[in-house]
Amino acid sequence: MNPIRLGYLYGFGAYLLWGFFPIYLKLLRPAGPVEILAHRIVWSVAFVALLLAAMRNIGFLRALTRRPRAMAGIVAAAALIAVNWGTYIYGVNSDRVVETALGYFINPLVVVLLGVFVLRERLRPGQWAALGVGALAVAVLTIDYGRLPYLALTLAFSFAGYGLVKKRLGLPAAEGLFVESAVLALPALAYLGWLVRRGESTFGHVSAGHTVLLVLAGAATAIPLLLFAGAANRLPLSGLGMLQYLAPILQLGCGVLIFHEPMPPARLAGFALVWLALIVFTADAVRHSRRTRAEARAAAPVPAGSR
């Protein structure tokens, strides 16, 4: 199969799984958000360890021990992804799927914002316009909710920060997920043990199906991430950038159409402003990419034989 076509296939698979993830999380109740998070961490370690063992790819661990700065980055990435996962699980299982979708809609804008304040990047006018419209959207949604949409903002900032740390670490998807989950595994196991001692664990006490679903949390975490890595290796950034909106669109659909969460006119107006900001942002990115390619072609030396 053509590599580009295969990349889009992987990308659609990843974002479809992420988009319908709220349905899976709802099935894990009556387990609480922290218990679900702990199982997700523990079973992610187990699943990816088996995968890496099958691929005979464990040598990267020795290389990591010789990079103290990398270990510090892994701890930071683990903390950020734990906040992101925990917030998302809490949002879904407290019937706020629409607000979690908002978090992933505004994530690209937060990435740009971090670029300004952390990496000292200079923004183009189109990017500033997108950020301005995005800020207006948050203001409208704050009025609608009667509070800051803190779940959405926590998801957006934690995932953007996670992406920034991951970019500097440069670890492949499976290896990165393994070491990040391994850092969190001991606290997760300790929490699960505490629940067992108190008689509050749902693992093995609800139904066989519920127990299997908790165990599958590792695969449900790793598989879309590996599909995304396959897409990222084959697609141009513009193609990958377009696909990233598929997951929050599906999450929003789950919230409104499947779980019947309210979408009053003011909230819809806020989301419309977010979508407008993303249209401005995407159009600017495409225009900049085309201009950069054109300038690169113009600057390329002309072969002597073609004169």
Q: Which residue has the tokens 């990419």?
A: 289
Distance CA 222, CA 237 (A): 22
- Mind listing the pLDDT tens digit for each residue in 222-263? 999 888 888 877 887 667 777 888 999 999 999 999 999 999
| Residues 6+ positions from 109 with CB-CB distance below 8 Å | 130, 131, 134, 156, 277, 278, 281
DSSP string, 202-246: -TTTS-HHHHHHHHTHHHHHHHHHHHHHHHHTTS-HHHHHHHTTH
Looking at residue 138, its pLDDT comes to 92
- Mind listing the pLDDT tens digit for each residue in 6-53? 988 998 999 999 999 999 999 999 999 999 999 999 999 999 989 888
Domain ranges for the chain: 3-290
Please report the sign of the dihedral spanned by the C-alpha atoms of residue 212, residue 217, residue 220, residue 222. negative
Residue 306 above 50 pLDDT?
no
- Mind listing the pLDDT tens digit for each residue in 142-199? 999 999 999 999 999 999 898 888 878 777 778 888 899 999 999 999 999 999 999 9
| Residues 6+ positions from 195 with CB-CB distance below 8 Å | 35, 201
Q: At what angle do helices 265-299 and 97-117 cross, to 10 degrees?
A: 40
- Mind listing the pLDDT tens digit for each residue in 202-211? 999 999 999 9
Over pLDDT 90: what percentage of the chain?
A: 56
The secondary element (H helix, E strand) that includes residue 114 is helix 97-117
Question: What is this structure's pTM?
Answer: 0.89
Let me know: does 74 contact 183? Beta carbons within 8 Å.
Answer: yes
Looking at residue 307, its pLDDT comes to 45
The secondary element (H helix, E strand) that includes residue 19 is helix 3-19
303 pLDDT tier (thresholds 50, 70, 90): low
